[in-house]
Structure 1
Amino acid sequence: MKTTLAERLKSARKEKSLSQKALGEIVGVSQAAIQKIEVGKARETTKLTELARALEVRPEWLSSGEGDMRQTEPSNIRETRLKAGVWEDMEHDQDEYVEIPLLNVSLAAGDGSCELEESSEFGLVFRKYYLKKLGVPESSARVVRVIGQSMEPTLHDGDVVGVNMQETTIRDGKTYAICQADLLRVKTLIATPSTVIIRSINRDEYPDEVMDREDFHKNVKVIGKVFWSSHSW
């Protein structure tokens, strides 16, 4: 069952044993502002990132309820972790394979802008020939974690997708990694003369988000087009 921002904020705050006043002081707002969110009078907040950081929860979860409450390490990334020393010793394989880093959104942004960072600990290994066959430059390839159930049944929570950061022009019906209000999302994009539709595959629970083209390009950054995906079982 989906929860509201009010319910998620209240639950996370109580779990941290913080009063509304104490939480407000941490993020720089009044107790009344926190109360307004928790009673449902405010359905969004510009302090989402600060609240998530103070409560030690993922901003994606706090914002939409998608994915895990706290950061977890997906098994399909964990199993492909490489120790630098081992990788450097694989001289022959280095000519055939390339490690593609995991892309995250830096929580240091905090102002709604999209600041991306590459994980220094996780990555997936691809054959160079495979990337070349798909027309994906090694320098433009990144992997992104799928969060939540909005793209089911095609993509599941914890799956990983490969993204070509060189392809940012919207091609109708294709799937892209986008950054929106400090959230890294994987969505299908459809462009019309006046709007851009952000579409989930699980449309019964996650209806289309329709934005004016100007608002979309102002508030949403297209990271790149998805060219590959894994699937967790």
Structure 2
Amino acid sequence: MKTLAERLKYAMEVLPPKKIKGVELARAVGVKPPSVSDWLSGKSKTMEGENLLRAAKHLSVNPVWLATGSGEIKLEKKSALGTDLDINQQEMIPVKTWDSSTPLDEDEVEIPFFKDFSFACGSGAIGEALLNEKRKLRMSKATLRNKAIDKKNAVATTSSGDSMSPTIKDGDTIHIDLGRKTVKDGKIFAVCHGGLFLAKRLYNLPMGGIRIVSDNTTEYPEIHLTAQEIKDQQFEIVGWIWQISTMENW
């Protein structure tokens, strides 16, 4: 089983006494069902660390095997008391510490990380901001390659507000592809609108118009702009938001 999709299907359909449905796994991992569908179809070839551990725990398989195909499929180690260990105790995956002086791995790149990207909106200074930003995030070249994202177009920033809740929460890290600015209906984009930096779902309207939609529709009604209003209100698409990293608060 060379791919994540093959291993995941095996763990869901062959190993358990009863087949595990995608909806059940999505609920256990804490993601939406389309994410599981992407893993099973091979559209997403990797899982983020926390998602991987939760999926492995729910499926009672070795997270290293699920991620790479290496090692035992199921963990059957015993503690000194003869009881089964929790899956997180059984397989400890080492985490490397690093700082700005740590050399990049062969499969790593650094991308600009903005704690506040809003200052670049409305001033035509996004390119200048990219050149001047010193904070960086590290990520795998393979991740960008799988999404066909050019490294020079990859940036990340911290989200603010609750207009896209529950999809994007206040303080989440959003990853933006500056090279994708053509509206694909329903996708989430980073935009500048009247000098404000926002994350919104976009839809095309006739005659060059745009429909701007928040996931929190109760507090943030959708907006329709004509082609002329797009110009008048300084509406600009910064890029496609392709990844959202959520950190839970205690």
Q: Give TM class, smaller chain.
A: 0.5 to 0.7
Task: Indicate the residue corresponding to 1:211 in structure 2.
Answer: 225
Q: Could you list the per-position Cα deviations for residues 131-180 of structure 1 after superposition, in whole angstroms to 9, with x for gaps in the alignment?
A: 10111111111112211010001110000111111100111111101112
Task: Indicate the residue corresponding to 1:196 in structure 2.
Answer: 210
- Residue 187 of structure 1: which of 196, 200, 205 is its match? 200
Provide the C-alpha distance between the structure 1 equivalents of 2:217 and 2:98, rounded to a whole number of angstroms: 37
Q: Could you list the per-position Cα deviations for residues 85-117 of structure 1 after superposition, in whole angstroms to 9, with x for gaps in the alignment?
A: 23xxx25x1x2111111242437x8xx434221
Q: Which amino acid is the alignment partner of residue 110 of structure 2?
A: E
Task: Indicate the residue corresponding to 1:229 in structure 2.
Answer: 244
- Residue 99 of structure 1: which of 103, 110, 122 is its match? 110
- Percent identity, please: 26
1:113 and 2:123 are equivalent in the alignment: yes
User: What's the secondary structure of 1:85's corresponding residue?
Assistant: coil
* 1:146/1:160 contact within 8 Å kept: yes
Query: Deviation of residue 231 (structure 1)?
Result: 0.7
Greater share of strand residues, 1 or 2?
1
Aligned-pair Cα RMSD in Å:
2.2
User: What's the secondary structure of 1:227's corresponding residue?
Assistant: strand
Query: Deviation of residue 184 (structure 1)?
Result: 1.2
User: What's the secondary structure of 1:216's corresponding residue?
Assistant: helix
- Residue 100 of structure 2: which of 84, 109, 114 is its match? 84
* 1:176/1:189 contact within 8 Å kept: yes
More deviation, 184-193/96-105: 96-105
Task: Indicate the residue corresponding to 1:124 in structure 2.
Answer: 137
Q: Could you list the per-position Cα deviations for residues 28-60 of structure 1 after superposition, in whole angstroms to 9, with x for gaps in the alignment?
A: xxxxxxxxxxxxxxxxxxxxxxxxxxxxxxxxx
After TM superposition, the score normalised by the length of structure 1 is: 0.57
Matched length: 145
Q: Which amino acid is the alignment partner of residue 216 of structure 1?
A: I
Q: Structure 1 residues 171 and 123, CA, compared in 2 at 3 Å: closer, same or farther? A: same
Map residues 134-173 of structure 1 onto 2, 5 A cutoff. 134-173=147-186
User: What's the secondary structure of 1:215's corresponding residue?
Assistant: helix
* 1:82/1:122 contact within 8 Å kept: no
Q: Which amino acid is the alignment partner of residue 224 of structure 1?
A: G
Provide the C-alpha distance between the structure 2 equivalents of 1:213 and 1:188, rounded to a whole number of angstroms: 17
Q: Which amino acid is the alignment partner of residue 221 of structure 1?
A: E
Provide the C-alpha distance between the structure 1 equivalents of 2:139 and 2:238, rounded to a whole number of angstroms: 20
User: What's the secondary structure of 2:133's corresponding residue?
Assistant: strand
Task: Indicate the residue corresponding to 2:92 in structure 1.
Answer: none
- Greater RCO, CA 8 A, separation 6+: 1
Please say which structure displays the higher CA radius of gyration: 2
Task: Indicate the residue corresponding to 2:187 in structure 1.
Answer: 174
After TM superposition, the score normalised by the length of structure 2 is: 0.53
Q: Which amino acid is the alignment partner of residue 125 of structure 2?
A: E
